[in-house]
Chain A
């Protein structure tokens, strides 16, 4: 499906090729909808936001000037539209407020790990235990393949924050390592203790 690069698609769109727009739409539909969903928490609204962005791209194709790469452009547009939507509906996106706090493994996740024991958990389940902000960042990198600098730009945060959140997420994944199941609260530190 990805035989066309974003660049090719964009230049075809500029030449009035609606099929190219649809291919681009297909390419990023799920990623963008999922990203929007983080903010608006409603599947229908998410789809609406994403399709409006593509409608806009089509209508403004003559003057379209995508300076950064196309992918970042789309994610930024989705974020802005999602926040606009929340703003319009007087909802505050709480995750943005905890942006620069570096969280630790919470009681709740520690508990659920005890509970699940040695069962291999679905990775999606594991990710759900991450704080919203960290999960968004992790998915943007791991699933959508965005670079730290792109994520930083999309979320208007520093590259350093992205780096920190990614490290925390990876640590969290590591905390599921079977040897660890006995001592969770001390987390990784304990792991090293056991090893040495």
Chain B
């Protein structure tokens, strides 16, 4: 038996991977004093206590963080009672308004039976479907353009001294400046964006980095987990990712063109572009992870999905295939 084969056998025995036949073979070697000595030495080494270098990590602190995250996420979830209404997409604004009114009634009624509910505040929610974009006017006259697959929740009237909105997804806000200077706060992911009167874009989809981009005026963005905050002015952007909150300068139109029906890829990684396309055209696009390192550039105004794919095929030398109307596969 060569040394390699013997060590392979020893390794399998020690790590509990040896088959009955291998164990038998191993046992036969143990009659030999030299093999046994070698095995005994390796076994001793194997069983030496190995500890993870645990000092680096703090469980108690991390558990607190996890609890805070859960609490926050659950509050956000409660705040976005989702109304699905794909049928009304075509019927349009009037129908949507009717639904919203019905929702007010429904929520109001629910709240009356809920003793824990605070006062008489009614909340309105709206969720756009994939492929849908929508303009909503808030009680204070501010306008919100919702991009696809986005949900928003806001009070039926801003009676207090703050204007609080909850958002998941992407929206462009045109906030009306008020004489009484009530701050307007948008809560999304772990960040709160506070303004007085200005226009800005928030993109905060679940499991993605959040971007807050300012078109006009001044905005304050705060990370609620560590209380870090940044102030943004026109042309500036805050990015919220795993490592926290950062500030950068961007071409604002790249982040706000969507509300004019423009799909824009500004040299972004392919997976991001595909995420955008999926929401924009209400399709599912599958792709090889080998394509992840490619980036794409392009501007499409009211363009068909097929045209965008044709372009990608040409530019990135990919192949695409419609499996059916709503499923596309992209390959190298």
Q: Which A residues contact B (CB, under 8 angstroms)? A: 18, 22, 25-26, 29-31, 33-34, 37, 43, 45-52, 54-56, 58-59, 85, 87-88, 123-124, 127, 139, 141-143, 147-148, 163, 166-167, 169-171, 173-174, 176-177, 188-189, 191-192, 195-196
Find residues 47-61 in chain B having any chain A CB closer than 8 Å to their own CB. Answer: 48-54, 56-59
Residue of A nearest to B9 (CB): A167
Q: A18 is contacted by which of B11, B70, B243 (Cβ under 8 Å)? A: B70
| Residues on A with beta carbons closer than 8 Å to the beta carbon of B17 | 147-148, 163
- In angstroms, Cα B44 to Cα A170, docked, is 11
Smallest beta-carbon distance A97→chain B, Å: 14
Question: Which one, A45, A47, A123, contacts B48 given CB within 8 A?
Answer: A123
Instruction: Tell me whether B73 and A59 are in contact (CB under 8 A).
Output: yes
**A52 touching B242, Cβ below 8 Å:** yes
Contacts of A56 in B (CB 8 A): 207
Given the complex of chains A and B, what is the CA–CA distance between A196 and B38 in angstroms?
A: 13
A-B contacts, 6 listed (Cβ < 8 Å): A26-B59, A29-B62, A31-B52, A34-B57, A52-B69, A166-B15
Give B43 Cβ to nearest chain A Cβ, in Å: 10
Q: In which size bucket is the chain B interface? A: 35 or more
How far apart are A194's CB and chain B's nearest CB, in angstroms?
10
Within 8 A of A (CB), among B204-261: 207, 209, 241-243
Asked if A29 meets B59 with Cβ closer than 8 Å, knowing A127-B50, A147-B17, A148-B15, the reply is yes
- Judged by DSSP, the binding face of B is helix
B146 to chain A, nearest CB (A): 22
B293 and chain A: residue at smallest CB distance = A87
In the bound complex, residues from chain B placing their C-beta under 8 Å from that of A22 are 63, 66-67
Known: A48-B242, A166-B15, A170-B46. 8 other contacts (CB 8 A): A18-B70, A29-B62, A31-B52, A34-B52, A124-B50, A167-B7, A177-B38, A177-B41
Q: How far is the CB of A132 from chain B (nearest CB, A)?
A: 15
Smallest CB separation, B295 vs chain A (Å): 11
Residues on B with beta carbons closer than 8 Å to the beta carbon of A29: 57, 59, 62
Cα–Cα, bound, A196→B54 (Å): 43
Instruction: Tell me whether B66 and A25 are in contact (CB under 8 A).
Output: yes
Nearest Cβ on chain A to B12's Cβ, whole angstroms: 8
The residue in chain B whose Cβ has the minimal distance to the Cβ of A50 is B62
Nearest-CB residue, chain B, relative to A159:
B17
Once bound together, how far apart are the Cα atoms of A169 and B67, in whole Å?
A: 39
Q: Which residues of B contact A141 (CB under 8 A)?
A: 15
Asked if B45 and A55 make an inter-chain contact with CB atoms under 8 angstroms apart, the answer reads: no
Nearest-Cβ distance from residue B118 to partner chain A, whole angstroms: 24
Q: Which label, helix, strand, loop or mixed, suits the secondary structure of the A interface? A: helix
Collect the chain A residues with CB atoms within 8 Å of residue B57's CB: 29-30, 33-34, 43, 46-47
| CB-CB contacts below 8 Å: B1-17 with A | 3-4, 7-8, 10-12, 14-17
In the assembled complex, B301 has its CB within 8 A of some CB on chain A: no
Let me know if B59 and A192 touch, CB within 8 A.
no
Q: Which of A37, A45, A59, A167 contacts B242, CB < 8 Å?
A: A45
Q: A residues within 8 A CB of B66?
A: 22, 25, 51, 54-55
- Residue of B with least CB distance to A44: B243
Q: Are A47 and B62 in contact (CB under 8 A)?
A: yes
A195 to chain B, nearest CB (A): 5
Q: Give the CA-CA distance A45 to B62 in the complex, in Å.
A: 11
Which residues from A are CB-within-8-Å of B59?
A: 26, 29-30
Bound CA span A59–B168, Å: 15
A189 to B4, CA, bound (A): 9
Q: Which of B3, B42, B69, B70 contacts A189 (CB 8 A)?
A: B3
Q: Which of A26, A143, A166, A188 contacts B11 (CB 8 A)?
A: A166
* A30 contact from B38, B50, B54, B77, Cβ within 8 A: B54
Docked-complex contact B34 and A170, CB < 8 angstroms = no
CB B239 to nearest CB in A, in angstroms, measures: 11
A116 → chain B closest CB, angstroms: 15
Would you list the 3 A-B pairs with minimal beta carbon distance, nearest first? A43-B56, A173-B45, A33-B57
Instruction: Report the bound CA distance from A124 to B51 in whole Å.
Output: 8
In-complex Cβ contact of B3 among A52, A139, A176, A188 (8 A): A188
> Looking at the complex, which one of B3, B50, B207, B242 makes contact with A142 (CB distance below 8 Å)?
B50
Contact B53 A59 (CB under 8 A): no
Residues from chain A with Cβ under 8 Å of B117 in the complex = none
- Min CB distance, B129 to chain A, in Å? 20
Q: Which residues of B contact A176 (CB under 8 A)?
A: 45
A51 in contact with B50 given A170-B42, A176-B45 (CB within 8 Å): no
